[in-house]
Structure 1
């Protein structure tokens, strides 16, 4: 008798669980037509062939003379006329890093000496190098690329690092124990080269 009561309790609990799942599915089905109707309305209002807004509200841009409206997403309206969102992003990235420039800055900067050692239980690569600046202006935030190799001379991995610090005009500076990254146990040699520098 006690076993039948327990079995009945389990069946009732399973029935309640099934009813709650059915109610949740009904609520989801009720929301599905609303979202699909909104998506179809957004597609229907897009007559210029610019594509869907992907859930973003549409923005209307008015031309210079008050004529010629265009419909697009806020992301495309944020970009300059005739440009795409990716072009605007590239312009923002280059504007955010005005100090990184061409090889003319690197032409007067060189690494005069370098060495490396392991640190941190052998997994960290610590580089010591001396920079010489022959320019009449100071430089800072030098980026180096260190290539690591095996015993047989084959390449293994490379690490890049921006080293903060100022090198005076016509001067030199030694950076000691700069952590450029983590390396594995097979690394036996390292060679670092300058990648970029910021002119002051």
Structure 2
């Protein structure tokens, strides 16, 4: 007897091994494993884990929000609607495939536009909800807030360049004062 697990490894006991003529003892045959085929149901969803959804744009840090929203729309496979115009259908054309393509485009554009609107603060939502397409909405936001960001940065740089150093104080203390001044100044601008 083996002391581990009380298994008798030295015994030649084959009493449990029944055999029939020309077959292998049943005690030696390993159990048959039957693979279970799972039904593969593919669920296509346009949802992205909640953590990747950008926070609402509240008129601060447009560039960061813009990049996050662009990534979010890309993961939803909707970013192309920010640059595309609807497919053109020729006058008098009654091509069923063209009409189906136009309907699909309108539906996806609607989704894209509303994902962007959902990423805006409520006050901005009310201003931009009348835009007809995702492209119009996106272009309007870029015109307004990229220009505004550039103007704010230009103003900050101008103020920084106007800061005068004086000989009566040490350079280190003046740099620290300048840094503190601009940190508080930029906080006021962002609010």
Question: What interval of TM-score do these two structures reach, taking the shorter chain for normalisation?
Answer: under 0.3
- The normalised TM-score by structure 2 is 0.22
- The normalised TM-score by structure 1 is 0.21
> Which entry has the higher C-alpha Rg, 1 or 2?
2
Q: Which has the higher strand share?
A: 1
